Amino acid sequence: MAERITKNMARNIYFGGSLFAILLFAGLTMDTVQKVPELSNDVQITEAVASGKNLWEVNNCVGCHTIMGEGAYYAPELANVFDRRGQANEEYFKSYLQAWMAAQPLPNNGRRKMPQFNLTEQQVNDLADFLIWTSRIDDNDWPPNIEG
């Protein structure tokens, strides 16, 4: 195969192919950026949700957990933790998360440990709001079941 292709042909395939790919990808990117606000309920991003996302970041939660399948694979998926633990009730979920965060690290021998992050009550509520917002993103019905 390679014998019939000259160096000039190969170079043209490289330039032409790359240009095509870049233009196609740029077009799809523009379309995606326009559609994401609706798919993610952008209008629901309150100050609390934004603050919760910041807490998620500055405590490096993604260093152990996944969120929509991305992150580390050491601790449970959290994009659907509201569906899994919240009993469809935001207030219930917040009190659950308050108790859960306060109890860390759990004393169980050998179990994977979550550090104590010493978050305030307000901060845990913000984190809960962020996770509740995340659980409502239209992500093509992922994950397959409630266990994440």
Partner 1 sequence: MKYSSQMVAKPYFIFALILLAGEILFGLILGLQYINGDFLFPEIPFNVARMVHTNLLIVLILFGFMGAAYYLVPEESERELWSPLLAKITFWVFAAAGVATILGYLFVPYSTLAEVTYNNLFPTMGREFLEQPTITKIGIVLVVLSFILNIGMTVLKGRKTVITVVLLTGLVGMAVFFLFAFYLPENLVLDKFFWWFVIHLWVEGVWELILGAILSFVLIKVTGVDREHIDKWLYLIIAMTLVSGIVGTGHHYFYIGTPSYWLWIGSIASAVEPLPFFLMVLYAFTMAKQRRIDHDNKIALTWAKGTAVISFLGAGVWGFMHTLAPVNYFTHGTQLTAAHGHLAFFGAYIMILFTIISYAMPIMRGRAHGNGPKAQAVERASFWLMVIGMLGVTLALTAAGIGQIMMQRWPDTEALSFMATQAELIPIYKVRFAFGLMVFTGLLTYLYSFFVKENTTVNA
Pick between residue 53 and residue 94 the one whose CB is nearest to partner 1. 53
User: Smallest distance, Å, CB 78 to partner 1?
Assistant: 10
Pick between residue 57 and residue 91 the one whose CB is nearest to partner 1. 57
User: Smallest distance, Å, CB 107 to partner 1?
Assistant: 10
Pick between residue 72 and residue 99 the one whose CB is nearest to partner 1. 72
Pick between residue 89 and residue 105 the one whose CB is nearest to partner 1. 105
* Residue 126 in tokens: 């913000």
Count the neighbouring beta carbons within 10 Å of the beta carbon of residue 112: 11
User: Smallest distance, Å, CB 87 to partner 1?
Assistant: 16
User: Smallest distance, Å, CB 89 to partner 1?
Assistant: 21
